Structure 1
């Protein structure tokens, strides 16, 4: 049995992890600020995520940007799972200081305390992200690995959305492994890279085992239906439930690796409990790319609500085209195998959404914010 602190533990992944760890016999403490963007107003009475862990964990309402909140939460812990972060690729491109303050400075405060104060922390698990890779891994016509530069408005304004090498020749998408080039295309990705590198660099000098998980696009029952800035399945679901049409960016053929929440929790617990995970970085996904059109069509089919789909050609600066995970390392070192296909996970997700109150569709508001900043074209 371990005493485990989960920062951001009232969030989507954190709360699910907390409940599974408790089931496995661990004692869980949570530090979370109950952000209204995720939990809505009056979270302590109305947030399903918070209520799912209430009275089951030791809860500190606080922020990772506060040294004293960290000190209170770390006391008596064996393991830290660091989830607390601002998330959202698009929003990070204009709320830059907030993303850096929470994601980078919050992590720096934790490491500073671990380096300079008494504690009993033996392991730190950091939620990294596929966003640190930027565009995924490709092979050119000569069979060489290629890591394309970020796409520019010059090409996308013409409806040319695929990535290219320096000679503008055709590239074949392949799975992104942990040794792939790190070149994030958003402030969010930069902050996740920074978090991961700080933890993987500092912790070993302190005799603490670091583990980093580069999560792909996590989804499933319990994810916030209120947040219009991140989570394509939630955003599309709220639009469909309100009877609003779906505006798909680019040509709809952009792909992501959608990984079900239960698989993410299982992978993370392997990282907490297995010594083989120490000092390692792992991808967590399904290893299967799914395009955005398939996501929209699958949701519409499962809900039985026919709304129009518009493939608009609009795009957001900072978005990537493709990325899916190579899972060979986590399979071989930790024995992880994803249990849920996208179709299976989507059914569980939509069945859950059907039990929830329909949320106000605030997506248009988030797009207007990006337009005003020149980031939505």
Structure 2
């Protein structure tokens, strides 16, 4: 394989993968709509992500919801890394049609073309998400391994944010979520990622096209959009701090995520592209370490040497999960993947990059107001 199509290739993950593959001698085509939510209002002139790849790839400004754009982009390609998607968990709960059309509809269009048109595609890599696990895997002292249901508004309203055993309703202890864990997303975004993954693995198998699905954890690092108030907690907090605004910590600040640095995500993705051992498999991509949100906020504040007011408000969003961190033993065993960036080192690299950027207007409050009007922010 030498020609690779990356959808969403001007985005955070996509542009980094594109640049790494170019260094390895691949020819890269990018299909991207340059969404203002990610790239700003004048992306061709102001987006650092777009400018980083502009003169290095064949760029097609278009949409994965357009069959014509897909046909144009797929011409003479050997593989597809399909990253293009709407990504905000909270936003997905009220922009439902948009998320379905782009994430599921766009993927279906690609597969329909592969099933019915002539092409050279030998492998498809699909970006899935930890969001498909919902609350993930836990241990109950009475019932062993369990998979909690979505947390109840009535509990969270009273400050009880813990996950419960679905059998006895007692509090449960967090476990690393492995690929064979129950799939039960709690957001429209998670549902669309589950559908994307299933569509690609099922249809590609029937077409004798190799397919790999990656369930990315919370990806961060230099280049992450600072203008998108809907996704990317490190970027959201950084933009708040740099604009002199305080930080509102949801719930009790003890909720956790598995933060994985962009370079490790790029490495994992390319391992799947180049290694036949990955074919037909699903992999978690993370660090296997849970970091709580309060630690994120305080670490960023210290890194920027700002005395930022941090408030643990007890606010919460319906559809948010409590905890998640990945069991990455499968990708280690199959592909030899080993994350090289710990959280402390990654934060240093990220904040150093942020310090060099022109900081955009902080649109976080407007995104919260949107969720309030929809009844999703409490």
Is structure 2 residue 22 aligned with structure 1 residue 28? no
Partner SS for 2:271: helix
Runs of at least 4 residues off by over 6 Å: none
Once residues 161 and 260 of structure 2 are traced to their aligned partners in structure 1, the CA distance between those partners, rounded to angstroms, is 24
Alignment of 1:57-206 (within 5 A): 57-142=57-142, 144-165=144-165, 166-206=167-207
Q: Normalising to structure 2: TM-score of the pair?
A: 0.99
Tell me, yes or no, if the aligned pair for 2:162 and 2:171 is still in contact at 8 Å.
Answer: no
Once residues 70 and 358 of structure 1 are traced to their aligned partners in structure 2, the CA distance between those partners, rounded to angstroms, is 34
1:169-216 C-alpha deviation (Å, 9 max, x unpaired): 231111000000000000000000000000010001101001000000
- Which residue does 1:6 correspond to in 2? 6
Once residues 172 and 60 of structure 1 are traced to their aligned partners in structure 2, the CA distance between those partners, rounded to angstroms, is 47
Partner SS for 1:178: coil
- Which residue does 1:208 correspond to in 2? 209
Partner SS for 2:138: strand
Measured after TM superposition, the shift of residue 143 of structure 1 is: 6.2
Matched residue count: 377
Is structure 2 residue 308 aligned with structure 1 residue 312? no
- Which residue does 1:240 correspond to in 2? 241
Structure 1 range deviating more: 113-122 or 159-168:
159-168
Q: CA RMSD in A?
A: 0.7
Partner SS for 1:127: strand
Measured after TM superposition, the shift of residue 309 of structure 1 is: 0.4
- Which residue does 2:231 correspond to in 1? 230
Once residues 153 and 357 of structure 2 are traced to their aligned partners in structure 1, the CA distance between those partners, rounded to angstroms, is 39
Partner SS for 2:111: helix
Measured after TM superposition, the shift of residue 114 of structure 1 is: 0.1
Measured after TM superposition, the shift of residue 41 of structure 1 is: 1.0
Once residues 130 and 252 of structure 1 are traced to their aligned partners in structure 2, the CA distance between those partners, rounded to angstroms, is 20
Measured after TM superposition, the shift of residue 359 of structure 1 is: 1.3
Once residues 172 and 257 of structure 1 are traced to their aligned partners in structure 2, the CA distance between those partners, rounded to angstroms, is 16
Tell me, yes or no, if the aligned pair for 2:136 and 2:147 is still in contact at 8 Å.
Answer: yes
Alignment of 1:32-71 (within 5 A): 32-71=32-71
- Which residue does 1:329 correspond to in 2? 330
For structure 2, which runs of at least 5 residues remain unmatched after alignment? none
Once residues 143 and 154 of structure 2 are traced to their aligned partners in structure 1, the CA distance between those partners, rounded to angstroms, is 27
Tell me, yes or no, if the aligned pair for 2:78 and 2:121 is still in contact at 8 Å.
Answer: yes
Once residues 98 and 60 of structure 2 are traced to their aligned partners in structure 1, the CA distance between those partners, rounded to angstroms, is 21
Tell me, yes or no, if the aligned pair for 1:141 and 1:170 is still in contact at 8 Å.
Answer: no
